[in-house]
A and B are shown apart, each in its own frame.
Chain A
Amino acid sequence: MVELISVTKRFGERTVLADVSLAVQSGEVAIVCGPSGSGKSTLLRTLNRLETIDAGDIRIDGQSLYRSGLDLRELRAKVGLVFQQCHLFSHLSALANVTMPLVKVKRLGRGEARAQALALFRQFGLERRADAFPDELSGGERQRVAIVRSLALRPKVMLLDEPTSALDWCLRAEVVANVRALASRGIAQLIVTHDLDFACAAGDRFFLLQEGRLREVDNYTLACCAPEALRGLSSVPRGRLQAVAA
């Protein structure tokens, strides 16, 4: 479903992604962890071409993002991205944030769009906040509205950038349930998170991104060793790894 083939991304002199390869199938949930500034958000942004890459190729649904004649609008409706900072439209109410793209992109009638949006709002416990504006919402509410806004477009791929950073444990469990529900619907998901409990509960496969390199790890390694990795220690103590392996 989502395939990165030897992707390299540089910002000026700095190589943020070096020869990164990754494949996520439909219905699979891939978790990416890594220290702050390691390029996790950049990785997600390359997947809907908010950032272009310097080498390699990215394929979604078997089709390259760099083929000629690519319809970017179609791609972006197919690949939902929830930003780390949410980025809701500040001039629209929470509900209108969701219905506006539905009306404009999916060409739904306003009534239909509203019904679909309200159904999702109920599912995410947001119905009481539907007519609040983004600056009146709490961080967690904003995050959920952003998730709903992407979900409403029925993407085939969801990219979530730290979706639980502003949520309490109860809502986090909700997000886990929603991630699993989406997976069972065949949506491929790539989730960036620092939240290891969430990662282990929601993920199928786990990756560490460090100094531009991506490597797959199992969930034990993630849970035991990621804290070191996240703190930016370049190597994980051998004893720990062996203990995990044993």
Chain B
Amino acid sequence: MRYEVDWSILARPELAALLIDGVRYTMIVAAVSTGVSLVLGTALAIARVSGSGWLRWPAELWVNLARHIPGVFWVLFFYFAFPELLPATWGSALNGWTSFALAAGIVALSVDNATYVSDIVRTGALAIPRGEWEAARCCGLSPWQQWTCCLIPVTLRTVTPPLANRTIHNFKNSSLCMVIAVPELTWATQQIESLTFRGIEATLVATLFYVTVALALGVWARRLERGGYRHWRGAGAVWRRERGELARVDSRR
């Protein structure tokens, strides 16, 4: 028996709508969890390289624990177990919330991705020459300012390639949310399969979508890394304005 590919089923409105919704949910899950995990992971990294043991040890413990748990477990945990851990009224409120699966999926991927982001950012921060840290301290910057004005921008520059890799990975991980019936793209393809017994067309389309977006992310990261180096360094309209003014000073000479 040979499978006859029939693209026309994708033109059926209810199936097309499933796919389009799937793309939408995949993008939401991937974008939000990537954003949250970048912030969370950076905070964890700062805690891990900070001088205070009160910050360092809990963060270190957390990362080393969380890193060894499969991503899909996090998804299952936040959807099934987490509401049970809360007081009964809160738990049932969560279970009754229509977007709970989406929220649980986003939180799970954020937590999962944050541990890897924290490792990447930590390595980048440790690679900054000690002198640059000291210069930041010598200027009288507060610890917060040292991080936001010097260390994070310098670190981000060096860790752009591994962070981009991680972002691509997290984007693909969004498909894990199908186990809790978030109607994202992979879930949609399975849904189409069970409705029509024709899954290959939808799955091919989904594969094409994942590959295209991941490739685009990769290209964007390469550009950041190469040309964007300068863009990073001159980040902010203020500095750019400043450069304009200096160019004028220059041309008067």
Residues of A within 8 A of B (CB): 48, 50, 72-74, 76-77, 80-81, 83, 85, 87-93, 95-96, 99-101, 104-105, 110, 114, 118, 127-128, 130-131, 133, 149-150, 153
Contacts and interface: CB of A to CB of B under 8 A. Distances in A.
B142 A131 contact: no
Contacts of A118: 246, 249
Most chain-B Cβ atoms within 10 A of its Cβ — which of A50, A85, A90, A153? A90
Contacts, number: 88
29 contacts: A50-B134, A73-B141, A73-B142, A76-B139, A77-B139, A77-B140, A83-B131, A83-B138, A87-B129, A87-B134, A89-B154, A90-B154, A91-B154, A91-B232, A92-B239, A93-B239, A93-B242, A104-B149, A110-B238, A114-B242, A118-B246, A127-B246, A130-B246, A130-B249, A131-B242, A131-B243, A131-B247, A150-B138, A153-B140
Most chain-A Cβ atoms within 10 A of its Cβ — which of B131, B135, B139, B234? B139
Secondary structure type dominating chain B contacts: helix
A35 B251 CA distance: 46
A76 B140 contact: yes
B149 to A, nearest CB: 6
Given A80-B138, A83-B134, A127-B249, 16 more contacts: A48-B138, A73-B142, A74-B140, A76-B140, A81-B138, A85-B131, A87-B129, A91-B232, A92-B233, A95-B242, A100-B139, A104-B141, A105-B141, A130-B246, A130-B249, A153-B140
B223 interface: no
Nearest to B152: A91
User: What 7 A-B pairs have minimum CB-CB distances, sorted nearest first?
Assistant: A77-B140, A87-B131, A101-B139, A87-B135, A105-B140, A76-B140, A131-B243
A221 to B, nearest CB: 32
B51 to A, nearest CB: 12
B242 A133 contact: no
Contacts of B132: 87, 89-90
Given A87-B131, A100-B149, A104-B145, A153 B246 contact: no
